[in-house]
Amino acid sequence: MSLRTKGETGDALGTWVKLPDPESVEIMAHAGFDFVVIDLEHTAMDLRAVSTHVAMARSLAVDPLVRVPDHGHSAIQRVLDAGAAGVVVPHVDTVAQAEAAVRSTRFPPWGTRGSGGTSRAGRWGTLPRDEYLDFGNNGALCVVQLESRQGIENTAGILAVDGIDSVFVGAADLSMEMGVPASDAQVQDLITHALEAASDAGRSIGTAAGTSEQGLAALARGFDYVVVSNDTSILANGARQIVNAVYPDQAG
């Protein structure tokens, strides 16, 4: 799977992983998801759990991306050395922030990432150094989230940054910032702007969806990949369906 070039491999389907137990990734892989996004922004997960998730995903041929908690260099470097296929950087609003995100994912002279070839990304020191460096500079994905009016308006400039592989539209935070529902015309016009900018740049663009129906609608609208639901919601909804079926009078 590649999220780099628009239309390169067709639509791709992922889901968020928010629980620390590796069974979450295992279940999602067996369910048939193309990739998972391990979430460090909105969970209490630690790097040890991320490392285990990445190993599980790799073993099952599912691409593991990690949404880092912020723009911090250290978190980006550590999850990449844990073997992540790439990072999703939240709340990128400007070209300067996009450039900084790229620098954190790349080795010198293109970035500031330190060499950690004895990590999983370097196959514990057994991967030739040039292969380790090549993946870091050319293979690891740098995806940035656009979740503000400013970020969306800067889509074209952000996608023009060398090393930005894809943008990810966060409609929930965008609508919250604007003080209107996600269905509001103002929000939808901005999303259309981002889609058109990505199309013009020939780069991929993704978004999140709560349900499969919403995911299908996003793909039909022109998004190249979609992250649908998450392990906790899938578990909670499945549990609720069972309870409601047995106790229909208590359905909530």
Q: Which helix (H) or strand (E) holds 44?
A: none
Q: Distance (Å, rounded) from C-alpha 174 to C-alpha 70? A: 17
Lowest mean pLDDT among 10-14, 36-40, 59-63, 158-162: 10-14
> How many helices (H) and strands (E) would you count in the chain?
11, 8
Provide the residue ranges of all domains of the chain, joining segments of one domain with +: 12-250
Mean of the pLDDT values across residues 134-159? Answer: 97
201-221, pLDDT tens digit by residue?
A: 999 999 999 999 999 999 999
Q: Kindly report the pTM of this predicted structure.
A: 0.94
Q: Which of 30, 42, 71, 91 is catalytic?
A: 42
Q: Distance (Å, rounded) from C-alpha 230 to C-alpha 101? A: 25
**How sure is the predictor about 68, in pLDDT bands with cuts at 50, 70 and 90?**
very high
Query: What per-residue confidence (pLDDT) applies to 11?
Result: 87
Q: Which helix (H) or strand (E) holds 139?
A: none
Query: Annotated catalytic, 53?
Result: no
Query: What per-residue confidence (pLDDT) applies to 252?
Result: 62
The pLDDT > 70 percentage for the chain reads 95
Instruction: Report the chain's mean pLDDT, rounded to a whole number.
Output: 95
Instruction: Name every residue whose Cβ is closer than 8 Å to that of residue 22 and which is 6 or more positions away in sequence.
Output: 52, 53, 55, 56
Q: What angle do CA 63, 128, 40 make, to 5 degrees?
A: 35
**Are the beta carbons of 17 and 51 closer than 8 angstroms?**
no
Q: Is the pLDDT of residue 175 over 70?
A: yes
112-130, pLDDT tens digit by residue?
A: 999 999 999 999 999 999 9
Query: What per-residue confidence (pLDDT) applies to 9?
Result: 45
18-34, pLDDT tens digit by residue?
A: 999 999 999 999 999 99
Quickly name the fold that domain 12-250 has: TIM Barrel (3.20.20)
CA 241, 243, 248, 249 dihedral sign is negative
Q: Distance (Å, rounded) from C-alpha 74 to C-alpha 156? A: 27
